[in-house]
């Protein structure tokens, strides 16, 4: 996913931190990695939510929990970041 798309994805989910998102993604490699993980979890969640496989319900719930955990982590970083 191009950097611009990743920035937009995070900005849409965290609109109160719109201006800080791009700066954190550019200046904090760990935050960038967390955001890539978030994108991957969203894609996996979407896959399992549309799947007819027997384990789809369980996997969808697991990815939903991971998404929530990563969103909490992203929110914490955005609130505490000193990246200018």
Q: Over the stretch 22-75, which tens digit does the pLDDT of each residue have?
A: 999 999 999 999 999 999 999 999 999 999 999 999 999 999 999 999 999 999
Predicted local confidence at residue 84, as pLDDT: 54
Predicted local confidence at residue 80, as pLDDT: 87
CA distance 84 to 73: 19
Q: Is residue 2 scored above 90 in pLDDT? A: no
Number of domains in the chain: 1
**Pick the residue with more confidence: 57 or 19?**
57
Q: Which residue has the tokens 């550019």?
A: 26
Q: Which residues contact 3 (CB under 8 A, 6 or more apart)?
A: 25
Q: Which domain holds residue 10?
A: 3-80
Do 15 and 30 touch, CB atoms closer than 8 A? no
Tell me the pLDDT band of 17, cut-offs 50, 70 and 90: very high
Global pTM reads 0.90
Q: 21: number of CA atoms within 13 Å, CB side? A: 20
């Amino acid at each position: 996913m191009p950097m611009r798309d990743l920035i937009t994805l995070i900005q849409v989910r965290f609109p109160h931190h719109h201006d800080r998102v791009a700066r954190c993604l550019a200046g904090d490699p760990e935050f960038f990695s967390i955001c890539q993980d978030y994108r991957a979890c969203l894609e996996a969640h979407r896959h399992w939510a549309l799947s007819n496989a027997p384990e789809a319900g369980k996997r969808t719930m697991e990815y939903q929990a991971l998404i929530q955990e990563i969103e909490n982590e992203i929110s914490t970083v955005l609130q505490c970041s000193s990246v200018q």
